[in-house]
Structures are given as C-alpha cells and as structure tokens.
Copies of this chain bind each other. A is one copy, B any other.
Amino acid sequence: MVGKGLLIVVSGPSGAGKGTICRELLKNNPQIKISTSATTRKPRAGEKDGVNYYFITEERFQHMMSEHEFLEYAVVYDNYYGTPKQYVIDNLHNGNDILLEIDIVGALQIKKKFKDAVFVFILPPTLKELKNRIVSRGTESISDIEKRYDAAISEIKQIMKYDYAIINDSISGAVRDIEAIVRAEKCRVVRNYEEILSRF
C-alpha cells in the first residue's frame, strides 16, 4: 500500500551482526535509505567518513547539538553518536523508508518523537556467541571488551521496549525477517485507514 515512509530503528549489542543485516537489507530494497550517524569516535580500520559515520570533532558535535540538528544523540563508551535530523525528515516526507542503526538510548528518544516508528532489536544466537563476536572483532582493549559485554547484557534486558526481536542464527534468515517486518508494517491498518476508507 501507498503511504508516507516508514522509520525503522534497528538496535542490538555489538557483535549481534546488525551492520551486516542492515547492509543486506539496503542492497535488496532501494526504497530504504540509511541515515548515516555522526560520531566523535575514531574510525576503525576500513571505516569511511560519510559512509559508516560522519566522523566529526567533539566541538562540532556540540555545536550541532546546540543548533538542534540531531533527531537523537547519545554518549556510548565515552563517544558521542547522533542522527542528523534533516535527511530523515526529508526522506520520510518523500515516501522513502529510513533505517536508523542506533543504540537503545537513541532509540528511546526516537520513540518519543515518532509514534509510528518500528523498533527492531537484533540478537546474537547465544551468550557464548555474543562473547566470541565481541572478542574476535579485535580492535578493542580488554577493558573495552568488558564494557561492551556488560552493555550488551543490560541492553538485552530492555528488549521489551522494542516491537520485534530477530535472533541472528543466520544472516539470510535474519535479513528475511527484517524484510518481512518492513513489508508487514506497511500493511498495518493504522497506517492505511484513511486511504482505505477513501477507496470504499
């Protein structure tokens, strides 16, 4: 059905595989646009400015905050992360869907502002696998790894704040899940009520 764009918020602990799942989703669904976050953290190996994140200084971030240019922002592991507002608003208005890959603090801010947004939480298959994936990333100190692990567990405990949970047993299954969620949400009566009554 036709309607304005869908705002899809995806969260999940480090190591859940949400980056890979989101990339696959975008590849198969050109009407879904990803909102690139701004962050003050340093790029990891292979990360590109404007692709993975806008890598900006803390000074610049705070200036944008003071100008209300973020839809949401959060401090995660001593770094700032934020979603620039204009790109999201413009795309939703034009009927494109927007994917936000953000943490739970940001997601809860979005939930207050966008009642129609869809909240998806991606989980690793097991606790053991979560540990393995955080460790094998290999870019962080032991203390960073411990912080990520503790944060992951505390995020999972808050999963009831999300609409959907995807257990990432396999990438292809998880991608099919999120595609189904997007398609199903577009069929929700609450999103199409006026359109339907105008037809009949």
Q: Are A187 and B166 in contact (CB under 8 A)?
A: yes
In-complex Cβ contact of A126 among B157, B160, B181, B199 (8 A): B199
Nearest CB in chain B to that of A200: its residue:
B156
Q: Give the oligomeric copy count.
A: 2
**A179 CB within 8 Å of chain B:** yes
Question: In the complex, how many angstroms separate the beta carbon of A131 from the nearest chain B beta carbon?
Answer: 11
Within 8 A of B (CB), among A142-200: 153, 156-157, 159-160, 162-167, 176-177, 179-181, 183-185, 187-190, 192-193, 196-197, 199-200
Residues on B with beta carbons closer than 8 Å to the beta carbon of A25: none
**A123 CB within 8 Å of chain B:** yes
Tally of A interface residues using CB under 8 Å:
36
- Given A185-B184, A199-B127, do A165 and B177 touch, yes or no (CB 8 Å)? no
Which residues on A are within 8 Å of B, measured CB to CB?
1, 120-121, 123, 126-127, 130, 153, 156-157, 159-160, 162-167, 176-177, 179-181, 183-185, 187-190, 192-193, 196-197, 199-200
